[in-house]
Structure 1
Amino acid sequence: MRFKGLDLNLLVALDVLLDERSVSAAAQRLHLSQPAMSAALKRLREYFNDDLLQQTGKRMVPTPHAMQVSEQIKAVLHDVEALISQSTLFDPSSSQRRFTLTASDYIATVLLAPLLRKLFRIAPGLQFDILPPGDTTSSLMEQGKLDLAILPESQLSTSHPSVLLFTERFVVVGCANNPMLSKPLTEDKFYEASHVVVKLGRVRPASIAQTSIDARGRARKEDVIASSFLLAPELVVGSPHLTVMHERLALKFAEILPIRIAQMPFNLEPMSEHLQHNEARATDPGLIWLIQQIQDQVQFTLPMDAN
């Protein structure tokens, strides 16, 4: 299809070229030959009367004009995708659609794993990309590259709608034979203990639990730093360390590891997990169906009154 003399398929090529900044990488991503991608770049340069990508040493660098139009191109492609989604009937039993979600390892374990076991029975053709939250989550949501994000309230985008899924308490976890947990844990004992602390990402390194504890103005002994809440229970086994983690995740690990769960020795606000999607996808029938499946799964396995 052409619009004012431009083959609109070339916009897809330009978007990928600006993302990859490499003709060969863009060709591989679009399943094209390198000569075909080079030809597409040549046509784009002629149409825009601009080099778009310039060779600088071993790297290709976008020109100022390319940087200027980059976000506009993403917005156009996103709007086209949203239009197609809105006008297409969605049949989960036969759909081959791939959904892209962002969720923490904790959410993947307590919510998405049981949900996917159900969905693979009723919608066997669906595919899922589950990305960890990170420094680019907000931009991916803005660009329409995420179908859904499941995030704590503090990490939500203010530009898109969200709905509360459930709340979660934090608990203290230690080895089953840790003498510190043989009786009610006091606040002083908590701070005297060595800890496994989970830190995530670069821009926002502290977890919600760590941020809440830090806000009390009293530092823990961070003897072990872990990059995932799935590692923390393993790291306290056979050690004097304690860790703070989500109650539901701790209960899952208590079924397979020799750990003991204790209540927090001071008040720590529960965490709320929310479901968010790009506002342009509000009428996407496939997304509406998936959101309902997630909400149903929460009611089935993570009831709101569990806390």
Structure 2
Amino acid sequence: MRFQGLDLNLLVALDVLIEERSVSRSAERLHLSQPAMSAALRRLRDYFNDPILAAHGKKMIPTPHALRLRGALRVLLTDIERMVSLSTQFDPATSQRRFRVGTSDYLAIVLFTRLVPEFERIAPGITLELIQPSDAMGTMLDQGELDLVITPAEHASAEHPSELLFEERHVVAGWSGNPLVQAPLSEQDFLASGHVAVEIGRLRPTSFAEKFLREQAKERRIEVLVSSFAVAPEMLVNTHRLAVMHERLAKAYAERLPIRFVEMPFPFPVMREMLQYNRTRSEDAGLRWFIDQAKRLTNHKQD
């Protein structure tokens, strides 16, 4: 389709080029060849009479005009996505939709390892793109760049709807050779032990567990600090360190690694994991289907 001489398919290419700042990465993301992506950039340059991307040393950076275009472009693409979602029925068996989900590696392990095989069976054309949490996550949700964000209730935005996915307990995990995880753990031993802790981001660095422990002044000796929930269990093996861990994650890793877990030695709040989406997507049939599938799988009794 053309509008005032512009091939509207180029708008998606323009958005990705500005974000990726690379022809090769943009081509990979849009499943195009690099020559095809280069051709799209040439056509955009001709139409807007602007380089769009300019060389800066070994890097490519968007021009000031390209950055001005992107504000209007994001609004336009978001409106188109909303229009399509409102005007069509969603059929998972035939859909070619890409779902972009902001989620932690913890949820990638305990939720998406179950969703992915299910989607292959009932929705083979769907693509999942999992985006790691970052300080930009809220902005991406506001701008419609994410279909969903899955986050603890305390981190959910008040500006957009959210729904409970599941509730999660926390446990204390350790190497199977650590005597502290062979029997009920005392608070004194918990605090005296070395620990592996997880912190994510810079502006909001603490996880749900770390935030609670700090608020309760549960001072312990953190000897290993990682930015990934999935790495923490690996750091326990062959050591006498402990880690506060989501119970679902601890169960998953206890099947793969020589680790055990025990109850927290003091009262610990339940974490409420929420599904959140942009308020403009409340009638998106495809998104509703995705949410229902996630809830169905997490509500099934796990072995």
Question: Is the TM value for this pair above 0.5?
Answer: yes
SS where residue 135 of structure 1 aligns? Answer: coil
Matched residue, 1:265: 265
Q: What amino acid maps onto 1:279 in structure 2?
A: R
SS where residue 173 of structure 1 aligns? Answer: strand
Matched residue, 2:171: 171
Matched residue, 1:234: 234
SS where residue 100 of structure 2 aligns? Answer: strand
Q: What amino acid maps onto 1:266 in structure 2?
A: F
CA distance in 1, matches of 2:210, 2:7: 51
Matched residue, 1:34: 38
Matched-pair contact (CA < 8 Å) for 1:103–1:131: yes
CA 1:190–1:14: 2 relative to 1, 3 Å:
same
CA 1:177–1:270: 2 relative to 1, 3 Å:
same
Matched residue, 1:124: 124
How many residues get paired? 298
Q: CA deviation at 1:2?
A: 5.2
Q: CA deviation at 1:170?
A: 1.0
Matched residue, 2:296: 296
Matched-pair contact (CA < 8 Å) for 1:168–1:247: yes
Return 5+ residue gaps in structure 2 as ranges: none
1:106 matches 2:106: yes
CA distance in 2, matches of 1:225, 1:136: 22
Q: Deviations over 1:226-270 (max 9, x none)?
A: 232222222222211011001121122223333221211222212
Q: What amino acid maps onto 1:178 in structure 2?
A: N
Matched residue, 2:47: 43
Q: Which has the larger radius of gyration?
A: 1
SS where residue 268 of structure 2 aligns? Answer: coil
CA distance in 1, matches of 2:240, 2:29: 48
Matched residue, 1:195: 195
Return 5+ residue gaps in structure 1 as ranges: 303-307
CA 1:52–1:230: 2 relative to 1, 3 Å:
closer
Q: What amino acid maps onto 2:149 in structure 1?
A: A
Point out the more displaced range, 231-240 or 290-299: 231-240
Matched-pair contact (CA < 8 Å) for 1:27–1:37: no
CA 1:70–1:96: 2 relative to 1, 3 Å:
closer
CA 1:258–1:290: 2 relative to 1, 3 Å:
same
Matched residue, 2:181: 181
Q: Deviations over 1:170-217 (max 9, x none)?
A: 111112232233443222211110011112233322221111111122
For residues 8-23 of structure 1, the aligned pairs below 5 Å read: 8-21=8-21
Matched-pair contact (CA < 8 Å) for 1:198–1:206: yes
Q: CA deviation at 1:52?
A: 6.2
Q: Work out the percentage of aligned pairs sharing the same amino acid.
A: 44
CA 1:279–1:184: 2 relative to 1, 3 Å:
same
Q: What amino acid maps onto 2:124 in structure 1?
A: P
Matched residue, 1:75: 75
1:62 matches 2:63: yes
TM-score by length of 1: 0.85
SS where residue 76 of structure 1 aligns? Answer: helix
